[in-house]
Amino acid sequence: MSKERSPRSVESRGGAEVRRLFSEGLPSVVLVGRANAGKSTLFNRIAKGHRAITSAIPGTTRDLNFARAAHEERDFVVVDSGGLELGGRENMSERIVAEALGAVGAADVVVFVLDGKAGLADADSEAVALVRDTGCPLIMAVNKIDSDKQETNAAEFYALGADELFFISSAHGRGVGELLDEVVKRLPARESATQAGPNLKLALVGRPNVGKSSILNRLSGFERAIVDSIPGTTRDPIDVRLSAEGRDVLLIDTAGIRRPTRVEGELEQHSVARAIETIRRADVVLLVIDASEGITDQDARLARLVDTNDRAMVIICNKWDAAAKAGGKIATFARDVENRYPFMSYATKVFTSALTGDGVKGILPAAIAAGESWRSMFQTSQLNRILAAATAAMDPPLVARRRLNLMYVTQVASAPPRLRFFSNIERDIPAHYIRFLETRFRRELKLVGTPLRFSFKRTGRTPAIGSTEALRGTSKSKRERAKSARKPA
């Protein structure tokens, strides 16, 4: 008699860690099966968001991939796992199998996806037996079945001992609705409420092998992403929910982004495109660089991409332990970055070693501060006080023989903050004066890690009510001089 095992019995192989990642307290549905059975295609159809990378290359999915899904008014978390290739030759196959089994152990429902075109194999029987051994509710789906005739030919899969098989085509949607009907029937009873969405979305981006996934694992406190010395291990974006300083934070790891000339093959091009989409999805981008190499041109290109997409930015100077051994100094490094790439000067810099954990605790506070600055809104009176002090400290320049007159400033948007200056001139304002204004406003508004956007609008109006005392004083002095001029001698 075989010993029945509960879901918790696999927690030593990763189940406890995976359980912590079911981000919203929703029931979980895990897709498992051998490599290239079509799990990721089914995941994409269920999630309706094309979150997993699909490819004809076996073993494309290595990390666990999560998405929120719904069917028949039931919400749940769907999880795509790596292939259950027992005794696989790839050096990471054992770890991938362990991650998949950990997800199975924490699941409410398991859907085992079989390859209907390839037919039944001994490896399928071994993998199904291993999943059954966990004691989790199991549904079997035979994929790549596009017609009734193919369904008849796939009857051999009943040899796996299932009372019912679901014949589906995840690529075309055939039978997927019936499969989800069964999934929903087996989900546990609804909970009274679910957790709200995250307060802050962070994305880890950078070149391959700079330590993004190691930092993700350090921040989450366990191995969420598979880490290997081979560049490009992470392919799918990975979402992790964290709690930091009373905030609910969504942290996203992405595939390493190479220069376009170094991107090889359809699979990596898809990974790079997904990483760029993730930048646009985030509030704050954590740009990870290899400090032992310094900031490369590709790092600068990524930073420019973050900046042009108006995202807040924290630069994580990882592997600082190696850089320090080579004589690197934090002050010198930061100064060199700002001198070479002035558009990156607003980004907060955190110096870390994911290997030892040094400095990692400073990442989330820096990201939260950047996110708060990114969303900031300011009173118009405060902005005009800063403007008055700035114009008193440095006279506005001449532009085409006319003195620039900044009459008024107001905030027109946030995420990031956007300030509009009403002036007598709106074009060709010298860059050095704009940098001066930006420095003053950043300092007075205590902005960190966020872009600050300026625009200038030409107007002939006098300063509006609510502008600074200094501006009102200037207008008053002009009126008094005019009044004196009209008095008889």
Residue-wise pLDDT for 10-51, tens only, equals 333 333 333 444 445 678 898 988 888 998 899 989 988 545
Of 47-61, 115-129, 136-150, 313-327, the one with minimum mean pLDDT is 47-61
The predicted model gives 353-370 an average pLDDT of: 94
* Whole-number Å distance between alpha carbons of 347 and 363: 12
The predicted model gives 471-477 an average pLDDT of: 41
Q: Which pLDDT value is given to residue 272? A: 56
Q: Which pLDDT value is given to residue 56? A: 43
Q: Could you give the percent of the chain with pLDDT greater than 90?
A: 42
The predicted model gives 377-395 an average pLDDT of: 95
Q: Specify the DSSP class assigned to residue 181.
A: H
pLDDT in tens, 397-415: 999 999 999 999 999 999 9
* Whole-number Å distance between alpha carbons of 147 and 154: 11
The predicted model gives 437-466 an average pLDDT of: 84
Edge-to-edge order in the sheet of strand 74-80: 65-71, 74-80, 28-32, 109-115, 138-143, 165-167
Contact status, residue 93 vs residue 85, Cβ threshold 8 Å: yes
Contact status, residue 85 vs residue 91, Cβ threshold 8 Å: no
pLDDT in tens, 232-250: 444 445 677 788 888 888 8
Does residue 229 have a pLDDT over 80? no
Of 314, 201, 312, the closest CA to residue 250 belongs to 201
Q: Strands 247-253 and 238-244: what pairing?
A: antiparallel
Strands (DSSP E) contained in 182-262 are 200-206, 238-244, 247-253
The secondary structure of the chain in percent helix, strand, coil, rounded to multiples of 5, reads: 40, 20, 40
* Whole-number Å distance between alpha carbons of 91 and 456: 58
Dihedrals phi, psi of 453, to nearest 5 degrees? -100, 135
Of 178-192, 280-294, 360-374, 431-445, the one with minimum mean pLDDT is 178-192
Query: Six-digit token pair at 115?
Result: 């390859």
Give the residue, 456 or 338, on which the prediction is more confident. 456
C-alpha count within 13 angstroms, C-beta hemisphere, residue 1: 3
Q: Which pLDDT value is given to residue 49? A: 59
The predicted model gives 225-229 an average pLDDT of: 39
Q: Where in the chain is the domain with CATH 3.40.50.300?
A: 7-186, 200-373
Q: Which pLDDT value is given to residue 258? A: 54
In CATH, which of 3.40.50.300, 3.40.50.720, 3.90.245.10, 3.40.50.1580 is domain 200-373? Answer: 3.40.50.300
* Whole-number Å distance between alpha carbons of 18 and 154: 33
User: Helices (DSSP H) in 257-313: which residue ranges?
Assistant: 265-281, 297-308
* Whole-number Å distance between alpha carbons of 136 and 132: 7
Residue 7, preceding peptide bond in cis (omega within 30° of 0): no
Does residue 61 have a pLDDT over 50? no
Q: Could you give the percent of the chain with pLDDT greater than 70?
A: 71
Cα torsion through 130, 133, 138, 139, rounded to 10: 30
* Whole-number Å distance between alpha carbons of 204 and 275: 9
Give the residue, 95 or 91, on which the prediction is more confident. 95
Of 199, 52, 27, the closest CA to residue 113 belongs to 52
SS3 category, 13: helix
pLDDT in tens, 155-178: 899 999 888 999 999 999 999 999
Q: Which pLDDT value is given to residue 375? A: 96
Q: Which pLDDT value is given to residue 59? A: 45
pTM of the model: 0.57
Q: Strands 402-403 and 398-399: what pairing?
A: antiparallel
Of 372, 369, 378, the closest CA to residue 415 belongs to 372
Give the residue, 143 or 88, on which the prediction is more confident. 143
The predicted model gives 268-297 an average pLDDT of: 81
Of 211, 126, 115, 124, the closest CA to residue 168 belongs to 115
Mean per-residue pLDDT over the chain, rounded: 78
Beta bridge partners of 141: 113, 166
Q: Which pLDDT value is given to residue 429? A: 95
Q: Which pLDDT value is given to residue 477? A: 45
The CATH number given to 7-186 is 3.40.50.300
Beta bridge partners of 200: 249
| 380-484: CATH class | alpha beta
Of 227-236, 317-326, 339-348, 415-424, the one with minimum mean pLDDT is 227-236
Does residue 321 have a pLDDT over 90? yes
Report for 273-282, 431-440, 457-466: range of highest mean pLDDT:
431-440
Q: Map tokens 């625009």 to a residue.
A: 455
Of the pLDDT bands very low, low, confident and very high (cuts 50, 70, 90), residue 353 is very high
Q: Which pLDDT value is given to residue 184? A: 93
Q: Where in the chain is the domain with CATH 3.30.300.20?
A: 380-484
Q: Which pLDDT value is given to residue 135? A: 73
Q: Map tokens 């490819």 to a residue.
A: 55
* Whole-number Å distance between alpha carbons of 347 and 268: 28
Contact status, residue 223 vs residue 245, Cβ threshold 8 Å: no
Kindly write down the DSSP assignment for every residue of 43-83, as one continuous string.
HHHHHTS--S---SSTT---S-EEEEEEETTEEEEEEE---
Contact status, residue 42 vs residue 249, Cβ threshold 8 Å: no
Q: Which pLDDT value is given to residue 436? A: 96
User: Residue 132's CB: how many other CB atoms inside 10 A?
Assistant: 17
Of 124, 120, 176, the closest CA to residue 146 belongs to 176
Contact status, residue 107 vs residue 31, Cβ threshold 8 Å: no
pLDDT in tens, 176-211: 999 999 999 998 876 544 445 678 999 989 888 898
Type of residue numbered 30: V
Report for 88-102, 126-140, 213-227: range of highest mean pLDDT:
126-140
- CA 45 from chain centre, in angstroms, equals 21
Give the residue, 221 or 47, on which the prediction is more confident. 47
Give the residue, 40 or 92, on which the prediction is more confident. 40
Contact status, residue 412 vs residue 395, Cβ threshold 8 Å: no
Beta bridge partners of 80: 31, 65
Q: Which pLDDT value is given to residue 231? A: 42
Does residue 485 have a pLDDT over 70? no
Does residue 103 have a pLDDT over 50? yes
The predicted model gives 407-431 an average pLDDT of: 94
Residue 231, preceding peptide bond in cis (omega within 30° of 0): no
